[in-house]
Structure 1
């Protein structure tokens, strides 16, 4: 298990480094651009990733207790704590945690997933054409299909056959949903923007699940 975790952290480091390269090219206006992550703009997403890479188990627990176990309050406080005075300073803080293996629990695929999903939350709206490595996406897809953790990914994909057309990931039984590993990961993470990248009779089921009632 330790060896596998080490491999996943190497993948997380590589994905953070690639994301930092993309962020270096952003204009001041782009740092304020909306993302796929709710109300957070680009800088807030980056600050959230800094917070995640600097918050261990006990710090996370103290923060959650202080927020009365309200994740939105916890996340907002940690974003404000780890955001710099300027986007450039926030980027420097992100660069400083590229190699971090700090996490609030031992669910390493989930923390790799946080990096790849939030990077796409920024890239997609900005039209940045970079796709994470399938080797990084596959363990995230497997984890998301197996359990709900930070997102209700298992519930989203329940009763469907999810199959990647660019890698080995496949999971579940039921109406087929096929497409890139990235699109499957993002759909399981609740990002409806990626549904148009998927095909198969199960896509209608996913669309129904990801459409706010």
Structure 2
């Protein structure tokens, strides 16, 4: 008897968690030997240090839908206030505490009411928010970046991305990701993802007639 395959959406979901865990583990390794001064480095996420961004990642991996809703109500539907509250809860007393707390959630499958691919986005995008100012580089698997680019290219959930690239044609030079039509923006998949999520610095790695438009749109983004 042949065992039926699970639905496509379920296969995608179960297949994405190992990617999330791999990205968290890689980030924890990269940050193992930071100095206190490096932990205090401003990240690419507006107003946050690299240490605070890591605490935000820990918070996201610790937040169930019920706790998320309770926090929203407690903060009177001020989502930025809730993010700040959760970050403070997971910061710890020292950078070593912050990293230890993050390591505890590396393999967590806990999440707020978001698709799993959004959690992958948290790990990759915020991982870059941390790495780039520190001069760290990661060679991401294209099999990790492509589904994430496709998600951001078709969604404004959590972060404005689909709206930011409206009317532009994005083409990855290192993988299969593309969007439909408009002035061309081409470059590495990672740079496209980061520009889609408002990190203007990554536009330097892109080429095409649409880059100036995307740069202007990214420059108005919040972290």
**2:84 pairs with 58, 76, 81, which one?**
76
2:174 maps to 1:166: yes
- Mapped to 1, the partners of 2:157 and 2:40 lie a distance apart of 28
**1:115 pairs with 103, 123, 127, which one?**
123
1:125 equivalent in structure 2 = 133
- Mapped to 1, the partners of 2:39 and 2:219 lie a distance apart of 27
**Structure 2, unaligned stretches of length 5 or more?**
1-8
DSSP-derived class of the 1:171 partner: coil
Pairwise CA distance, 1:134: 1.5
In the superposition, the TM-score normalised over structure 2's length comes to 0.93
> Per-residue displacement from partner, 1:103-143 (whole Å, max 9, x unpaired)?
11241111100110000001111110213222111111101
More helix by share: 1
> Per-residue displacement from partner, 1:55-98 (whole Å, max 9, x unpaired)?
01111111111112212101110011111111111111111101
RMSD between superposed Cα atoms in Å = 1.2
2:200 maps to 1:181: no
2:153 maps to 1:145: yes
2:61 maps to 1:56: no
In the superposition, the TM-score normalised over structure 1's length comes to 0.97
DSSP-derived class of the 1:163 partner: strand
- Mapped to 2, the partners of 1:186 and 1:159 lie a distance apart of 18
**Structure 1, unaligned stretches of length 5 or more?**
none
Q: Is the 8 A contact 2:131 2:137 kept in 1?
A: yes
- Mapped to 2, the partners of 1:200 and 1:124 lie a distance apart of 23
2:9 maps to 1:9: no
**How many residues in Structure 1 have an aligned counterpart in Structure 2?**
213
DSSP-derived class of the 2:171 partner: strand
2:3 equivalent in structure 1 = none
4+ long deviations beyond 3 Å: none
> Per-residue displacement from partner, 1:24-80 (whole Å, max 9, x unpaired)?
021111000000000010110010000000001111111111112212101110011
